[in-house]
Amino acid sequence: MRTTREGNSRRQFRFSAMTALACFCLYTGMVPSWAQTRAAAKSPQSEGAEVMAAEIEFQRDENTFNVTALKRLMASDGIEVQDEIMNRDRVLEVLSSFRGFPCHLSPVKMEDTDVALLAKGVATILYKATETLSCGRKSLTIQGNASGVWVRKDGHWQAQIHTETIDWSKMEIHR
């Protein structure tokens, strides 16, 4: 019986010590630090693939006018650069105005993709982009270049700056 009591006591002590340690870790933010260490241990290829996947998702959300998904993918202080320099609210406002748009935008074809990891949780992506706008029998193919600056915030990659250029000489209209 004595042995059992001592065993229980030790287990209780271990539990208390573990609880206190957990409290310490949570309170001081050490758990996120450990999580960051694990994230930092990812290979550059893995991080590059994540950024590329995020960019594909970003383009898909824009082309399908998915405001909710894009809001999550774009940093709250993110910027989109097109003919206008837009903050996130403006981007979402413009996208919302396309609800019920009778035309269809194809998924963006990405070529010569170049991802660079500049610092922990900071990356850029650059690629040639081609997309087609179809309205009934008519379609318009647009080619250009796109670049994105991505930042890992709250555990996932978010678009901080997104820029698109258009190569007017390669615009094709199909009837």
Question: Is 94 a binder of other proteins (CB under 8 A)?
Answer: no
From 25-33, 39-47, 92-100, 130-138, give the range in contact with other proteins by CB under 8 A: 25-33
User: Which of 106, 134, 141, 163 touches other proteins (CB under 8 A)?
Assistant: 163
Binding segment toward other proteins, per CB under 8 A, in 63-71, 94-102, 131-139, 165-173: 165-173
Give 109's strand partners: 130
| Backbone φ and ψ of 25, nearest 5° | -65, -45
User: Which residues in 106-144 are b (16+ Cβ under 10 Å) and which e?
Assistant: eebebeebebeeeeebebbbebebbbbbeeeeebebbbb
Q: Does 85 bind other proteins (CB under 8 A)?
A: yes
State how far the Cα of 68 lies from the Cα of 124, in Å rounded to an integer: 23
Q: Which residues bind other proteins (CB under 8 A)?
A: 13, 16-17, 20-21, 23-24, 27-29, 77, 79, 81-85, 112, 114, 116, 118-122, 124, 126, 128, 144-145, 147, 149, 151, 160-161, 163-169
